[in-house]
Amino acid sequence: MKTLVESTYALATLDAHGVATLTIQGAKSLNIVEMSTLTRATAEHFIKGLRDLCEGVRRTPVPVIARIPGWALGGGLELAAACDIRIASRTAQFGMPEVKVGIPSVIHAALFPRLIGQGRADWLLLTGELIDADTALAWGLVNQVVDPEALDDTIQSLARSLCALGPAALRQQKTLLRRWETLPLAAAIDDSVTEFGKAFETGEPQRFMGEFAKAKAAR
């Protein structure tokens, strides 16, 4: 639990360090033996810690990339789902096996129906069965699958591309994506108008459009 709290706090302080993008990689899985000793009260306390970490990732103002080298199960897969972009090794395996050990999948498993569709989410959470990386890609659970030896270079290349973009525009875009999750379509469209106007107060449109115009004129 201490690690969850520390990680959640670190996410909350990113703004102070000028972070442009963030990569989260796999960590040690949860200890089933230890979890078997939980009571109702301690179980709720534990799962709230994981909820806060996953929600911290979702609310982090910069793009978050999930690095998935191998197994992504249960809470680990929920943490990956909370990220903005997921890149997996071709050898990765994915699953939500909670029902096989007597508990339901909760908290950020709620993201799966909108991420991969209701039918696929039903299968994943009700059966507890695993899927491979190619299936995860076909379902939209991950954005990209690469050979294991190419995983780090692929993520570093993406991170560099993101860092080259306007940081204010990226933060605005992530803010809009989170708001669009709950707003009705018409409200989401109208809400975007204000953000578009605010972008021109950052100086980024003028800089990037100016550079584009200069490059075009030089051809």
Written as one string, the DSSP assignment of 29-70 is PP-HHHHTT--HHHHHHHHHHHHHHHHHHHH-SS-EEEEE-S
- What is the pTM for the complete model shown? 0.88
What pLDDT shows up at residue 99? 96
From first to last of the 219 residues of the chain, give the pLDDT tens digit: 445 555 655 665 666 556 889 999 865 556 777 888 899 999 999 999 999 999 999 999 999 999 999 999 999 999 999 999 999 999 999 999 999 999 999 999 999 999 999 999 999 999 999 999 999 999 999 999 999 999 999 999 999 999 999 999 999 999 999 999 999 999 999 999 999 999 999 999 999 999 988 888 887
Q: What is the pLDDT of residue 217?
A: 85
CA 139 to CA 120: how far, in whole Å?
A: 8
Residue found by looking up tokens 């009260």 in the block? 41
Q: Hey, how many other C-beta atoms are within 10 angstroms of the C-beta on 65?
A: 23
Task: Please give the Cα distance from 153 to 132 (Å, whole number).
Answer: 22
Every domain of the chain and the residues it spans = 2-163, 167-217
Sign of torsion over alpha carbons 42, 44, 50, 55: negative
So what CATH class is 2-163?
Answer: alpha beta
**Using an 8 Å Cβ cutoff, are 49 and 4 in contact?**
yes
Task: State the catalytic residues.
Answer: 78, 98
Nearest-Å Rg of the Cα atoms of the chain is 19
Distance CA 55, CA 28 (A): 19
Question: Per DSSP, which regions of the chain are E strands?
Answer: 22-25, 64-68, 71-73, 85-89, 93-95, 131-132, 144-146
Give the pLDDT score at 4.
Answer: 58
User: What does DSSP assign to residue 28?
Assistant: P
